[in-house]
Amino acid sequence: MICEECKKSKTCRNCEDAGTLTTLSDTITTLSDTITTLSGAITILSNNAVLTTLSGTITTLSGNITTLKTTLKKTLSASNGLSESVDTLTTLNTDITKFNGKITRLNGNITTLNTAITTLKTTLSGPSGGADVLTKLSNNITRLSDDITTLNKTISGADALTTLNTAITTLSSNITAFNTTFSGPRGSAGALTTLSDTITKLSGHSGSAGTLTTLNNAITTLRDNITRINTIINPA
């Protein structure tokens, strides 16, 4: 817009302000388009819920900047207050430039994240269309679950537990019977006591010659007699 003063003089403050606002409007338009493109790229980037939410947020921001652009156009068409608008919008442009830098860094982070997601997907899917690692893991977990179920049925089945319980009961009874046989019931003299007494009788008491000594002498005498008889029957 060329004002009446501009038609008279080439140095019109209002026109300078209008030119600045036009440049600023173009910058914001470019920024709006960039963010719109970024929003579309992020939407295509991944179906991840967090990224989708982020994309929606940036889309909303893009819409807000578009609204700001419309407001600027209305400001440009005004015939007064342009100097104040320039100062305000210059500050706003600085803030938007800083924000654009943050958006650029965010875009880099999202690109890095996308690369990591792609790498993870490749790793989990196996190289060159090979066996899917996640499928293998799922199959292994399924087999493990089946094995645990089978084991649980085996050890918890009525037959298995009954057999085990019977075996334990039988063993307990045998141990009790063995203990009773060799120890005697209720503290009475049992087989072990009787055996101990028999050994004592056979070996004598307090080191004296006992039954075992007598038996040994008898065996020795019998051996000698057999030897003599053998000599008589079979002389050399």
- Retrieve residue 21's tokens: 């606002």
What is the Cα 227 distance to its own chain's centre? Answer: 88
Domain of residue 121 covers 14-125
Is 45 among the domain residues? yes
CA dihedral 198, 199, 204, 207 (to 10 degrees): -150
DSSP 8-state class, residue 79: S
Between 73-87, 167-181, 188-202, 217-231, the lowest mean confidence (pLDDT) is in 73-87
Is 54 among the domain residues? yes
Given a contact cutoff of 8 angstroms between Cβ atoms, the answer to whether 79 and 3 are in contact is: yes
Is 43 among the domain residues? yes
- Retrieve residue 135's tokens: 């499928």
Is 147 among the domain residues? no
Cα–Cα distance between 165 and 156 in angstroms, integer? 12
Task: Provide the 10 A C-beta neighbour count for residue 96.
Answer: 19
pLDDT tens digit string along 77-116? 554 555 555 566 666 667 777 777 777 777 777 777 777 7
Residue 23: what are its φ and ψ, rounded to 5°?
A: -60, -45
Per-residue confidence (pLDDT) for residue 84, from 0 to 100: 55
Is 150 among the domain residues? no
Give the closest residue to 99 by CA, choosing from 38, 45, 49.
38
Averaged pLDDT, 154-174: 73
Per-residue confidence (pLDDT) for residue 76, from 0 to 100: 57
Per-residue confidence (pLDDT) for residue 218, from 0 to 100: 75
Q: Write the burial class of residue 98 (CB in 10 Å: 0-12 exposed, 13-18 middle, 19+ buried).
A: exposed
Q: What is the pTM of this model?
A: 0.29
Is 29 among the domain residues? yes
Is 68 among the domain residues? yes
What 3-state DSSP class applies to 33? helix
Per-residue confidence (pLDDT) for residue 115, from 0 to 100: 75
pLDDT tens digit string along 23-49? 555 666 666 566 666 655 655 655 556
At 130, the pLDDT band (50, 70, 90 cuts) reads very low
- Retrieve residue 165's tokens: 């319980």
Q: How many domains does the chain have?
A: 1
